[in-house]
Amino acid sequence: MEALEMYTVDPNDDVYTEELKLNLGPQHPSTHGVLRVELKVDGEIITASRCDIGYLHRCAEKIGENVTYLQFTPYTDRMDYLASMNNNLAWSLTVEKLLGVEAPERAQWIRVIVAELNRIASHLIAFGTYGIDIGANTPFFYAFRERESIMALLERPSGARMLYNYVHPGGVAHDIEDGWLEDVLAFCDEFEMRWKEYNTLLSHNAIFIGRTANIGVIPKDMALDYGLTGPVLRASGVSWDLRRDVPYLAPYDDLEFDVPVGEGTHGTLGDCWDRYWVRMREMMESIRIIRQACPRVPAGPFMDKAMNRMYKTPLKPEPGEAYMRCENPRGELGFYVVAEGGTSPIRCRTRAPSFCNLSVLDALLPGTMIADGVAIIGSLDIVLGEVDR
Amino acid sequence: MNETDIHSKLAGAVVSGVGALDESAKDPFVVVDPGSLVPAVTFLKNDADCRMEMLNCVTAVEREDCIEVVYHLSSVTHRHSLTLKTRVERPAGGTHESWIPEVPSVAALYASADWHEREQWDLLGVRFTDHPDHRRILLPEEWIGHPLRKDYVYPHEHGGMPLDLDAVPLYERDEATPSEPAAPRPSGTPLVQPPNPNSDRPDAGGVAPADSDGDLRSIKPGSNDGGGH
Amino acid sequence: MTSLIAFFEGLGLEGVLALSAAYALCIASLLGFITVYAMFAIWMERKVAAHIQVRYGPMETGAWHGWAQSVADAVKLLFKEDLIPPEGNKFLFWIAPAVVFCGVFAGFIAIPFAEGMQIVDLHLGVFFIMAIASVEVIGVIMAGWASNSKYSLFGAVREAAQVVSYEIPAATALLVPILVVGSFRLGDFNAFQADHGWLVLYNPFLTVAALIYFISSLAGCKRAPFDLPEAESELVSGFHTEYSGMRFSFFFLEEYASMFVAAALTATLFFGGWNLFPWGGGWEPAPLAPVILISKIFFFIFVQMWLRWTLPRLRVDQVMAMGYKYLVPWAFVCLIGAAWFEYMGWGGLFS
């Protein structure tokens, strides 16, 4: 049994325990892609951990330096592939900031609706896969049923089901068809009912609470220190949502919505259950936003005319730089673009929320059990496409 | 507070090395000397009026004459943010193999800086002094070079795995004179970056990296030493 | 069994020959039964899971609701390459599935499906089934160790800890009906319940004991929420991670066979055996007895499946805490309480 490398702690003692080095991933059912975590375990208890990322690295930032501004939009789809709309949006806003243009009002409202729909779809995946991580397989199928409806809805304006490439600098790629907004509202009604089902099935299940409460606690200071954003930060009790605090789209100022914050309902503030529950409540807030936004979509152009003309030749922003951040389902997605006058930027930095959120993992794992480790990885809700870019 | 206020407080507190605020930029930024970076960030984090609790992003940008490292800081308490920059001048003929700029690390102040700085080291080759765990993060540990440098040339293989991408950047391609594909390297020869014919920088490529640990470079094709798993 | 031997002796076979022929027939029919049952149970599991998860499950193979899916899967498993980890212990790896299967297979011989419809009428039937089922743990540990995979090892050790721990509450809970009936012979339970009604309603301690036994049997069969030895999201597949093809299917068979044995014990000891109504019986026509018993068994198998597709998985320490902190003390409380009731002459809702 040579392959079972044993790490002796103190072989001089008569009684000593041996540590086992366990490779969690990159091919493992619950690492949400190709994350690899090297664990040292003492029985079931993790004593040390080290994240190893980069298995999905495509150097998107280098690609960004080699393609035009518009051409990079589909590449942003492939970063957080579960929230492509939000990624498109962040990239488009960055380019718009660099160019100093603003999308027409209709486009802004459409952007809000599609971004919130995609946020729900993304949180549904988080909910479903978290159930699988904890050992409940059924919620996954429930979540996918509703995600399917969202994908069908988003397919109608964009033509794609997952990697939309819909939000472009200057507006959106296509106008929405008649009747689409009504269907979105109908989905909202249905979803509200389904959401209650999820809670009956998983959220308030005693075993589920037992597995997630008091596990992987991230205190407020630690969350800020590690630069965590999104639901992971809010679950630690920090009310910080870019949609409300740094409104990057004009409609968010006019819309009424709450920012769910962790309360430590079943244990300590900032535990896995809080992170899960913040996501669940955020879905309902998104529904609220969509309900308010749908009737208010104004008539008008969906794409800035000047921008549309500019697409005939590659965009050439003035030399300058812009950092634009958006509230993605997973947290703050920031693009930092440096232009030096060419058709492509000289630096196209992506501040990926999953990347920052994952960095806290090594600090959380030691002292927990292997099963808790899986619960913690799931509660951070990472997308490896975005971690590695 | 807006950026101007923060900058005036910062300039008052940190004795030297804090430049003027560039207000013409879309995100007004302050340039700080590398030597004053840590005091400046410490001040911004701890001062009651600034309270930059969060370091959002660390970015290294390679320009013609320098490499600048950009820090995006923001405060959750006061809901303001600031962009901080520090610059390291490029020495004459500094290529990505011969020139590794050094910037002090802020990982002791912000845990988030840890991974961000590792990524910038990995992709742009900026060394962050006093970093607790200065390893590559996205690329394999035995990778040669830093891909986001402008004079970086794609390798033709890694650990025996062919990576034959066209070395010429897409926007520099000339349809009339297609670049010749690189000749396959005989197996077993050391990995050395071929020169980039399209680079207009002096001494770009063609130089073997400083031989610090030779064994990494002698990976033979087929040897199972790739990701260490 | 004796009637079979007599039958073969009537055919002109003598002594050992008749015995061997009878045993061969029993083993063959039991193997056939278990295989067919397991295929059906796997199909049922997939259907139950599918309908809980708002989908249909297999629908194409064999036209009617995909009934032949399990047959197709079995054929596929037969033809799959049999992989043995090169660094593993080949002998143990090879023999482990057989050991695992034997334990459960042997348990089947003591189950009475109707009066006289039983391979061996053991006086210590309950005891025998509990004891022989423990052999399975040895096989699982062999499999986990011989696979030379850390995940397999973890699964095997978890299995050992879990099954050994849960045998205590399971056995203690089974002692309660044994105490009431005063026999280890499974046939006696059926006779007793024909007179006195289902034991689960006999007195409150027996009701609790039935619950404790059912929960413990879930852990013994490695069914959710106690499926830690093969916890997919943590240990990939636990002890059978490295197994493929036929050997893997033996673990599969074993899981479903042990579910059957556990459900059969629950049905026979607590839920009236082949007596249809809770207030007793004995009047049901004899040919109906196996039908009644097997439908009860399938009801409990269905409950096991239902729980699996509804509940999340417990953590190792929670499993242990549940076993030792709650089930074991309550099982002993039930035992003492039932003894007290018997001493006082109370109990018997329908007697």
Give backbone dihedrals phi and psi of B7, rounded to 5 degrees, phi first.
-65, -40
| Average pLDDT, consecutive stretches of 10 residues, N- to C-terminus, chain A (389 residues) | 41 66 82 85 85 87 86 88 91 89 88 92 92 89 91 90 88 86 91 90 89 89 90 90 86 88 86 91 92 88 74 78 90 90 86 91 88 89 88
Q: How confident is the model at residue B165 (pLDDT cuts 50, 70, 90)?
A: low
Please tell me whether residues A70 and A202 are part of one structural domain.
yes
In a 3-state reduction of DSSP, which class is residue A38?
Answer: strand
**How many domains in chain A?**
2
Which of A29, A136, A210 has its CB closest to that of C236? A29
**Window from A291-295, B170-174, C17-21, C221-225 with minimum mean pLDDT:** B170-174
Nearest CA of chain A to the CA of B150: how many Å? 9
Please tell me whether residues B105 and B121 are part of one structural domain.
yes
In a 3-state reduction of DSSP, which class is residue A36?
Answer: strand
Please tell me whether residues B99 and B21 are part of one structural domain.
yes
Contact criterion met (CB below 8 Å) for A225 and B112: yes
Please tell me whether residues C70 and C181 are part of one structural domain.
no
Nearest CA of chain B to the CA of A111: how many Å? 23
Please tell me whether residues B161 and B69 are part of one structural domain.
no
How many beta-carbon contacts under 8 Å exist across A and C?
92
Degrees, nearest 5: CA angle A188-A189-A195: 80
CATH of the domain at A69: 1.10.645.10
Please tell me whether residues B139 and B191 are part of one structural domain.
no
CB half-sphere exposure, C218, CA atoms < 13 A: 27
Strand partners, C297: none
Q: How confident is the model at residue B80 (pLDDT cuts 50, 70, 90)?
A: confident
Provide the residue range defining the domain that includes B165. Answer: 153-195
Residue of C nearest to A31 (CA): C233
Which of A28, A44, A135 has its CB closest to that of C313? A135
Angle between the N-to-C axes of helices C90-108 and C135-146, in degrees from 0 to 180, rounded to the nearest 10 = 160
**CA of residue A45 relative to chain centroid, distance:** 29
Judged against a pLDDT cut of 50, whether residue B47 lies above it is answered with yes
Residue ending a domain, among C35, C56, C79, is C79
Please tell me whether residues C144 and C235 are part of one structural domain.
yes
Which of A135, A210, A369 has its CB closest to that of C233? A135
- Give the list of residues 6+ apart from residue C288 with CB closer than 8 angstroms, or none: C274, C276
Q: How confident is the model at residue C186 (pLDDT cuts 50, 70, 90)?
A: confident
* Domain membership flag for residue C18: no
Degrees, nearest 5: CA angle C5-C8-C14: 90
**Chain C contact set for A4 (CB, 8 A):** 148, 150, 153
Degrees, nearest 5: CA angle A64-A66-A68: 75
Q: What is the pLDDT of residue C58?
A: 87
**Chain C contact set for A140 (CB, 8 A):** 53
Q: What is the pLDDT of residue B228?
A: 34
A258-267 long-range Cβ contacts below 8 angstroms, 24+ apart: A258/A285, A259/A234, A259/A285, A260/A234, A260/A285, A261/A234, A261/A235, A261/A237, A262/A234, A262/A235, A262/A236, A262/A237, A263/A237, A264/A237, A266/A209, A266/A212, A266/A213, A266/A214, A267/A213, A267/A214, A267/A215, A267/A217
Round to whole Å and give the CA distance between A176 and A293: 14
In a 3-state reduction of DSSP, which class is residue B70?
Answer: strand
Which of A238, A332, A360 has its CB closest to that of B56? A332
Chain B residues with CB under 8 Å of a chain A CB are 25-27, 53-57, 59, 61-63, 70, 72, 76, 79, 83, 110-112, 114-116, 119, 123, 137-140, 147-148, 150, 169-171, 227, 229
Contact criterion met (CB below 8 Å) for A113 and A293: yes
**Chain A contact set for B56 (CB, 8 A):** 227, 325, 332, 334, 351
* Domain membership flag for residue B14: yes
Please tell me whether residues C28 and C147 are part of one structural domain.
no
* Domain membership flag for residue B203: no
Query: Alpha carbon of A275 to those of A46, A228, B142, B180: distances in Å?
Result: 22, 12, 37, 53
Q: What is the pLDDT of residue A335?
A: 92
Contact criterion met (CB below 8 Å) for A265 and A277: yes
Ramachandran assignment for A10, one of left (phi > 0), alpha (psi -120 to 50 degrees), beta (any other): beta
Please tell me whether residues A27 and A140 are part of one structural domain.
no
Contact criterion met (CB below 8 Å) for A240 and A233: yes
CA dihedral A109, A111, A117, A121 (to 10 degrees): -170
Round to whole Å and give the CA distance between A278 and A259: 9
Q: How confident is the model at residue B174 (pLDDT cuts 50, 70, 90)?
A: low
* Domain membership flag for residue B95: yes
Please tell me whether residues C48 and C144 are part of one structural domain.
no
CB contact under 8 A, A2 and C316: no
* Domain membership flag for residue C351: no
Please tell me whether residues A21 and A111 are part of one structural domain.
no
Please tell me whether residues B138 and B186 are part of one structural domain.
no
* Domain membership flag for residue C233: yes
Q: What is the pLDDT of residue C282?
A: 67
Provide the residue range defining the domain that includes A332. Answer: 60-388
Does the N-terminal peptide bond of residue C204 adopt cis geometry, omega within 30 degrees of 0?
A: no
Do strands A6-8 and A18-24 pair parallel, antiparallel, or not at all (unpaired)?
Answer: antiparallel
Please tell me whether residues C204 and C272 are part of one structural domain.
yes
**Chain B contact set for A39 (CB, 8 A):** none
Nearest CA of chain A to the CA of C226: how many Å? 10
With helix as H, strand as E and coil as C, how does A74-85 read?
HHHHCCCCCCHH
CB contact under 8 A, B61 and A23: no
CA dihedral A377, A378, A380, A385 (to 10 degrees): 90
Which of B26, B112, B147 has its CB closest to that of A225? B112
Round to whole Å and give the CA distance between B73 and B77: 12
Q: What is the pLDDT of residue A117?
A: 92
Q: What is the pLDDT of residue C291?
A: 87
Degrees, nearest 5: CA angle C149-C151-C152: 65
Neighbours of chain B (3+ CB pairs under 8 A): A
Give backbone dihedrals phi and psi of A323, rounded to 5 degrees, phi first.
-115, 120
Please tell me whether residues C59 and C74 are part of one structural domain.
yes
Please tell me whether residues C96 and C60 are part of one structural domain.
no
* Domain membership flag for residue B175: yes
Nearest CA to A244 among A179, A288, A184, A275? A288
Query: Alpha carbon of C46 to those of A173, C42, C295: distances in Å?
Result: 43, 6, 19
Judged against a pLDDT cut of 60, whether residue B195 lies above it is answered with no
With helix as H, strand as E and coil as C, how does A140-209 read?
HHHHHHHHHHHHHHHHHHHCCCCCCCCEECCEECCCCCCCHHHHHHHHHHHHHHHHHHHHHHHHCCHHHH
**Window from A218-227, B62-71, C227-236 with minimum mean pLDDT:** C227-236
* Domain membership flag for residue C152: yes
**Chain A contact set for B61 (CB, 8 A):** 338, 346-347, 349
Please tell me whether residues A12 and A122 are part of one structural domain.
no
Round to whole Å and give the CA distance between B178 and A199: 60
Please tell me whether residues A177 and A246 are part of one structural domain.
yes
Question: In 10 A of CB B181, how many CB atoms?
Answer: 10
Q: What is the pLDDT of residue A16?
A: 62
Q: What is the pLDDT of residue A282?
A: 92
Whether A142 has its CB under 8 Å from any CB of chain C: the answer is yes
Chains A and B make contact, 3+ CB pairs within 8 Å? yes
CB contact under 8 A, C53 and A137: yes
Provide the residue range defining the domain that includes C227. Answer: 80-344
Please tell me whether residues C140 and C163 are part of one structural domain.
yes
Neighbours of chain A (3+ CB pairs under 8 A): B, C
* Domain membership flag for residue B41: yes
Nearest CA of chain A to the CA of B158: how many Å? 14
Query: Positive or negative, the Cα torsion across A282, A287, A291, A294?
Result: positive
- Give the list of residues 6+ apart from residue C269 with CB closer than 8 angstroms, or none: C126, C174, C177, C186, C189, C199, C210, C213
Task: Tell which of B121, B124, B171, B201 to mutate to test the A interface (max A CBs under 10 Å).
Answer: B171
* Domain membership flag for residue B112: yes
Contact criterion met (CB below 8 Å) for B104 and B37: yes
CB contact under 8 A, A142 and C232: no
DSSP secondary structure of C53-64 = TTS----STTSS
Please tell me whether residues B96 and B190 are part of one structural domain.
no
Degrees, nearest 5: CA angle A247-A85-A67: 100
Give backbone dihedrals phi and psi of A309, rounded to 5 degrees, phi first.
-65, -40
Please tell me whether residues C316 and C331 are part of one structural domain.
yes
Please tell me whether residues A100 and A67 are part of one structural domain.
yes
Name the strand (E) or helix (H) holding C236.
none
Contact criterion met (CB below 8 Å) for B167 and B194: yes
Please tell me whether residues B84 and B39 are part of one structural domain.
yes
Chains B and C make contact, 3+ CB pairs within 8 Å? no
Nearest CA of chain A to the CA of B208: how many Å? 22
CB contact under 8 A, A349 and B111: no
In a 3-state reduction of DSSP, which class is residue C18?
Answer: helix
- Give the list of residues 6+ apart from residue C74 with CB closer than 8 angstroms, or none: C35, C39, C249
Which of B25, B114, B116 has its CB closest to that of A321? B25
Please tell me whether residues A101 and A216 are part of one structural domain.
yes
CB contact under 8 A, A371 and C55: no
Please tell me whether residues C216 and C236 are part of one structural domain.
yes
Please tell me whether residues C1 and C97 are part of one structural domain.
no
Contact criterion met (CB below 8 Å) for A133 and A31: no
**How many domains in chain B?**
2
Please tell me whether residues B108 and B28 are part of one structural domain.
yes
Nearest CA to A223 among A364, A31, A368? A364
* Domain membership flag for residue B183: yes
Ramachandran assignment for A225, one of left (phi > 0), alpha (psi -120 to 50 degrees), beta (any other): alpha
Query: Alpha carbon of C19 to those of C2, C8, C24, C109: distances in Å?
Result: 9, 8, 9, 15
**How many domains in chain C?**
2
CB contact under 8 A, B56 and A334: yes
Q: What is the pLDDT of residue C279?
A: 77
In a 3-state reduction of DSSP, which class is residue C155?
Answer: helix
Q: What is the CA radius of gyration of chain C?
A: 21
Nearest CA to B119 among B146, B92, B143, B93? B146
What 8-state DSSP symbol labels residue A215? Answer: S
For the entire predicted model, the pTM comes to 0.83
Please tell me whether residues A281 and A297 are part of one structural domain.
yes
Please tell me whether residues A36 and A122 are part of one structural domain.
no
Please tell me whether residues B102 and B165 are part of one structural domain.
no
Provide ipTM, 2 decimals.
Answer: 0.84
Judged against a pLDDT cut of 50, whether residue B43 lies above it is answered with yes
* Domain membership flag for residue C15: no
Please tell me whether residues A173 and A45 are part of one structural domain.
no
- Over residues C195-221, the mean pLDDT reads 87
Residue ending a domain, among C63, C79, C95, is C79
pLDDT tens figures, B117-128? 999 998 888 888
Please tell me whether residues A92 and A119 are part of one structural domain.
yes
Judged against a pLDDT cut of 50, whether residue C349 lies above it is answered with yes
Nearest CA to A360 among B55, C244, B115, B47? B115
Whether C238 has its CB under 8 Å from any CB of chain A: the answer is no
pLDDT tens figures, C63-104? 788 888 888 888 888 888 888 888 778 888 888 888 888 888
Q: How confident is the model at residue B201 (pLDDT cuts 50, 70, 90)?
A: very low
Which of A257-271, A273-287, B8-22, C150-164 is the most confident on average?
Answer: A273-287
Judged against a pLDDT cut of 80, whether residue C13 lies above it is answered with no
**Chain B contact set for A320 (CB, 8 A):** 25-26
Nearest CA to C39 among C75, C63, C6, C70? C70
Round to whole Å and give the CA distance between B207 and B199: 14
**Chain C contact set for A20 (CB, 8 A):** 150
CB contact under 8 A, C150 and A20: yes
CATH of the domain at B113: 3.30.460.80
Which of A2, A131, A135 has its CB closest to that of C224? A135
pLDDT over 70 percentage in chain B: 67
Question: In 10 A of CB B135, how many CB atoms?
Answer: 9
Judged against a pLDDT cut of 50, whether residue B211 lies above it is answered with no
Nearest CA of chain A to the CA of C59: how many Å? 18
Please tell me whether residues B158 and B141 are part of one structural domain.
no
**Window from B161-170, C8-17, C136-145, C276-285 with minimum mean pLDDT:** B161-170
* Domain membership flag for residue C349: no
* Domain membership flag for residue B174: yes
Whether C52 has its CB under 8 Å from any CB of chain A: the answer is yes
- Residue ranges in chain B assigned as alpha helix (H): 3-13, 37-46, 112-124
Please tell me whether residues A331 and A252 are part of one structural domain.
yes
